[in-house]
Amino acid sequence: MLLENLAAKVTAAHSLRALCKQLDLDPGEIDFVFSCSEEAVGDRYNRGGGNLAKAIAEDVGCGNASGCDVKAFCAGPMYAMVQAASMIQSGVAKRVAVVAGGSLAKLGMKFESHVKKGMPILEDMLGSFAAILSAAKPGQVCMRLDSAAFHPVRAGGSAQAMAEELAEKPLAKLGMKLTDVDRYGVELHNPEITLPSGSGDVPRTNYLTLAALAVMRGQITKNQMEDFVRSRGMLGYAPTQGHIPSAIVYLGHAKTALECGAIRNALLMAKGSLFLGRMTQLSDGCSFLVDKNDV
């Protein structure tokens, strides 16, 4: 367990350190760090006590920051982003880092299926990420806090309910239809890894669900579904690290695509399988739109 926690800490710190270097940013400029890693820091008497964020902040040299953890299964990163943005919007902080380290436990999670088919153990990679948020200047790529959506308790866990709560409704609030989104970033697990282990093509199923909802709402026809998937979706490419593939892995690419004008907007949506924790039968999710701050 200590090794798992360490793996999460070190990989998250690596990402944040690399990002600061990339931005030529002094880590001391960061006010707060959210960690949304999948781990449980603490021993028998304080299992899950957490605040791996502060350990990461210390490791990277964010001397002026404190931090805390956001835990929400695979939707953790998306929640952390919303919380980070909210802190900035409300003036509580100016520059907030959101980081997640890799999940050691998920390495070789389904190794038997791969080895049985004569493949190497494909789940061989830890994933981690870091994002740094601050108030968006005019023209900059930004997170739309007015699009932040959650999946309420009463909604039920069906695939349809998830798509309604995380895509249809928040878009409708902005006067948008499902077809007004140029790109959806969903759970982007690499199907080359998941198909041989019988876990299916997760991104494709997610995109088909969005397309099906668009059909039901009369926005596209049934035979336009594949086109919807192809033009507004993408092939999965992330390692099966749980929270890392869950939408957040597309954020950097979305930023680049927005900056060069390849897309006008992107909706990132992640789901969390809370039922796996046995405290509830519910599913969960969180989403938000990114576009350019044209205000």
Partner 1 sequence: MNFENQGVIKRLADQYGPENLTVVLGNGEANGVEVFAETVTEGDPSFAGPLAGVALKIPVYHMLEEDVMGQVPEKLREEKLQLSALVIDIEPMHEVLEASRAKL
Partner 2 sequence: MQKGKKIIAIGERDGVTGPVIAECLEGAGYEVVFQATECFV
Residues making contact with partner 2 (CB under 8 A): 156-159, 187, 189, 194, 198-200, 202, 205-206, 209, 240, 242, 245, 271, 273, 275-276, 281, 283
Based on CB atoms, which residue is closest to partner 2, 208 or 215?
208
* Cβ atoms of 212 and 225 closer than 8 Å: yes
Return the residues of window 86-115 that contact partner 1 according to CB under 8 A: 112-113
Return the residues of window 167-206 that contact partner 1 according to CB under 8 A: 195, 197-201, 205
Kindly report the backbone phi and psi dihedral angles of residue 110, in degrees, each rounded to the nearest multiple of 5, phi listed first. Answer: -120, 45
Return the residues of window 218-237 that contact partner 1 according to CB under 8 A: 222, 225
Identify what 275 binds: partner 1, partner 2, none; CB under 5 to 8 Å per kind: partner 2
159 binds partner 1 (CB under 8 A): yes
Based on CB atoms, which residue is closest to partner 2, 145 or 159?
159
Based on CB atoms, which residue is closest to partner 1, 132 or 220?
220
**6 dihedral zone (left: phi>0; alpha: psi -120 to 50; beta):** alpha
Based on CB atoms, which residue is closest to partner 1, 82 or 220?
220
Please choose, out of 32-40, 70-78, 138-146, 152-160, the segment that lies near partner 1 by the rule CB under 8 A.
152-160
In the complex, the residues that contact partner 1 under the rule CB under 8 A are 112-113, 158-160, 163, 195, 197-201, 205, 208-209, 211-213, 215-216, 222, 225
